[in-house]
DNA sequence: ATGGTTTTTACTGCGTC
DNA sequence: GACGCGGTAAAAACCAT
């Protein structure tokens, strides 16, 4: 057995050593209760025990106050939000495709042709140079994959930002747009705490797994992105819900993973496998009906691995003084 | 390329509904 | 008998050196 650190580094996806003590953001470190944000005081407070988990939050509201609607209109200076998921951040001009004027009347054929030409040139200018076109295509890909994986908008946003940076730093030459955008999605999903396994990513990408992994490592290294090993717990909700398990079982699964973490059982093992095993074990403990086969299917992990892991989980549970 | 480790594949035996 | 489950051995995949 090599030492734990080396082991953990072996597999990108793997959980790291027991020295990593970071708490997930929405659970109280004291009692495990739910932590909610109190915007008025800029604090994050545990709902169960009242512990203030985080202070000095950033207030993202407007810095001005308005006392009536008129003032609100005057002081407000907000347009459409810019977004990184569009290659021009949604800032450039768009010419409507409908051949209607501002009053809704149809255009004469003369005007229609003119508008057609304008649209064409506007589009050409918008995506003028190679980088813009590159971005446009990549962002399309990112969006497609994120949708296919059911990832939320903020992940798309993150992936887009990462891609922009990659483009800025000239990381693209020699690498496919597909590969890099896939890697960005993978990285963003992991950073956002809603990881998808490499296999899941591979399914929706047009690029092979090996290339994704390679490109991903490259991008991470070049951009100096810090991505912690995936937390098995972050897979639990997804698995539990696709198996139709109760909240109690889900919670049980998390507990199992926590004690396993304390025991350091998880080092060097695939987080997905751990999560799958925890979900299965939790279903057993709460007398809910599932089979290893089903868990193995939704988690995309072999039954053997589930068996091995869940033995280890239960063992860790037993040997704990609790 | 090699070696050590984990995961997968394939197969077998056991108990139960 | 099909099914769920446990175990094993060999193959494959993976990472670090």
The whole-angstrom distance between residue A52's C-alpha and the CA centroid of its chain comes to: 26
Does any strand B atom come closer than 7 Å to the Cβ of A1? yes
- Tell me which of A159, A191, A223 is where a domain ends: A223
pLDDT band at A145 (very low <50, low <70, confident <90, very high): very high
How many domains does the structure of chain A reveal? Answer: 4
Q: Are residues A252 and A277 in the same domain?
A: yes
- What does the pLDDT read at residue A129? 66
Q: Are residues A81 and A114 in the same domain?
A: yes
Q: Which CA-bearing residue is nearest the C1' of B6?
A: A269
**Contacts with A89 (C-beta within 8 Å, 6 or more apart), sequence order:** A82, A83
Q: Are residues A73 and A34 in the same domain?
A: no
Residue A203 lies in a domain: yes
List protein-proximal bases of chain C (any atom < 7 A from a CB): 3-9, 14-17
- What does the pLDDT read at residue A151? 92
Does any strand B atom come closer than 7 Å to the Cβ of A291? no
Give residues lining strand C (CB < 7 Å): A 6, 9-12, 209-210, 213, 290-293, 304, 307, 311
Q: Are residues A135 and A217 in the same domain?
A: yes
- What would the DSSP string read from start to end of A22-70? PPPTTB-TTT--BEEEETTTTEEEETTT--EEE-S----S-SS--SSHH
Name the nucleotide nearest A303; use CA and C1'.
Answer: B8
Neighbours of A2 (CB within 10 A): 10
pLDDT band at A7 (very low <50, low <70, confident <90, very high): very low
Q: What is the spatial distance, in angstroms and rounded to an integer, between the CA atom of A182 and the C1' atom of B2?
A: 32
Q: Are residues A186 and A253 in the same domain?
A: no
Residue A64 lies in a domain: no
Q: Are residues A136 and A206 in the same domain?
A: yes
Note the pLDDT tens digit of each residue in A150-194.
999 999 999 999 999 998 888 888 888 889 999 999 999 998 989
Q: What is the spatial distance, in angstroms and rounded to an integer, between the CA atom of A77 and the C1' atom of B14?
A: 73
Note the pLDDT tens digit of each residue in A77-88.
666 666 777 776
List protein-proximal bases of chain B (any atom < 7 A from a CB): 4-10
Residue A190 lies in a domain: yes
Supply the mean pLDDT for chain A: 78
Does any strand B atom come closer than 7 Å to the Cβ of A269? yes
Note the pLDDT tens digit of each residue in A251-290.
988 988 888 888 776 677 888 988 999 999 888 888 888 8
Residue A61 lies in a domain: no
Q: What is the spatial distance, in angstroms and rounded to an integer, between the CA atom of A280 and the C1' atom of B9?
A: 21
**CA torsion through residues A37, A43, A46, A50, sign:** negative
Q: Are residues A9 and A40 in the same domain?
A: yes
Residue A32 lies in a domain: yes
- What does the pLDDT read at residue A13? 45
Residue A322 lies in a domain: no
d(CA A252, CA A248): 6
| CATH code of the domain in which A259 resides | 1.10.472.10
Q: What is the spatial distance, in angstroms and rounded to an integer, between the CA atom of A296 and the C1' atom of C5?
A: 13
Q: What is the spatial distance, in angstroms and rounded to an integer, between the CA atom of A303 and the C1' atom of B11?
A: 14
What percent of chain A clears pLDDT 90, i.e. is strictly above it?
12
Choose among A20, A21, A16, A24: nearest CA to A266: A16
Does any strand B atom come closer than 7 Å to the Cβ of A35? no
Find the mean pLDDT for residues A41-49.
Answer: 71
Q: Is the pLDDT of residue A239 over 70?
A: yes
- Tell me which of A174, A196, A223 is where a domain ends: A223
Q: Are residues A141 and A94 in the same domain?
A: no
Q: What is the spatial distance, in angstroms and rounded to an integer, between the CA atom of A66 and the C1' atom of B5?
A: 64
- What does the pLDDT read at residue A183? 92
Its domain, for residue A278, covers 232-317
Does any strand B atom come closer than 7 Å to the Cβ of A232? no
- What does the pLDDT read at residue A11? 46
Q: Are residues A246 and A302 in the same domain?
A: yes
Length of chain A in terms of residues written: 322
Residue A81 lies in a domain: yes
Name the nucleotide nearest A307; use CA and C1'.
Answer: C6
Q: Are residues A173 and A202 in the same domain?
A: yes
Q: What is the spatial distance, in angstroms and rounded to an integer, between the CA atom of A286 and the C1' atom of C3?
A: 21
Residue A60 lies in a domain: no
Q: Is the pLDDT of residue A223 over 50?
A: yes
Q: Are residues A35 and A111 in the same domain?
A: no
d(CA A66, CA A83): 27
A184 is in an annotated binding site: no
Q: Are residues A154 and A211 in the same domain?
A: yes
């Amino acid at each position: 057995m090599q030492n734990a650190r080396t082991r953990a580094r072996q597999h990108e996806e793997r959980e790291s050593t027991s020295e990593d003590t970071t708490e997930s953001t929405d659970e109280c470190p004291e009692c495990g209760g739910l932590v909610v944000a109190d915007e008025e005081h800029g604090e994050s407070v545990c709902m169960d025990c009242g512990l203030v988990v985080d202070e000095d939050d950033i207030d993202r509201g407007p810095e001005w106050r308005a006392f009536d609607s008129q003032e609100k209109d005057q002081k407000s200076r907000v347009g459409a939000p810019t977004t990184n998921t569009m290659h021009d951040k949604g800032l450039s001009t768009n010419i409507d495709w409908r051949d209607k004027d501002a009053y809704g009347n149809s255009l004469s054929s003369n005007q229609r042709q003119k508008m057609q030409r304008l649209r064409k040139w506007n589009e050409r200018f918008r995506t003028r140079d190679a980088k813009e076109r590159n971005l446009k295509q990549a962002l399309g890909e990112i969006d497609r994959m994120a949708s296919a994986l059911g990832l939320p908008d903020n992940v798309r946003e993150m992936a887009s930002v990462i891609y922009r940076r990659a483009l800025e730093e000239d990381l693209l030459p020699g690498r496919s747009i597909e590969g890099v955008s896939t890697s960005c999605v993978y990285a963003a999903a992991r950073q956002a705490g809603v990881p998808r396994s490499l296999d899941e990513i591979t399914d929706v990408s047009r690029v092979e797994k090996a290339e994704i992994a390679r490109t991903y490592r490259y991008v991470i290294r070049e951009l100096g992105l810090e991505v912690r090993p995936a937390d098995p717990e972050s897979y639990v909700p997804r698995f539990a819900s696709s198996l139709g398990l109760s909240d109690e079982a889900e919670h049980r699964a998390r507990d199992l993973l926590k004690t396993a973490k304390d025991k350091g059982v998880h080092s060097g093992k695939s987080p997905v496998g751990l999560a799958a095993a925890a979900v299965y074990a939790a279903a057993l403990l709460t007398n809910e009906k599932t089979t290893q086969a089903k868990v193995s299917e939704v988690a995309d992990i072999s039954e053997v691995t589930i068996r091995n892991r869940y033995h280890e989980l239960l063992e860790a549970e037993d040997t704990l003084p609790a």
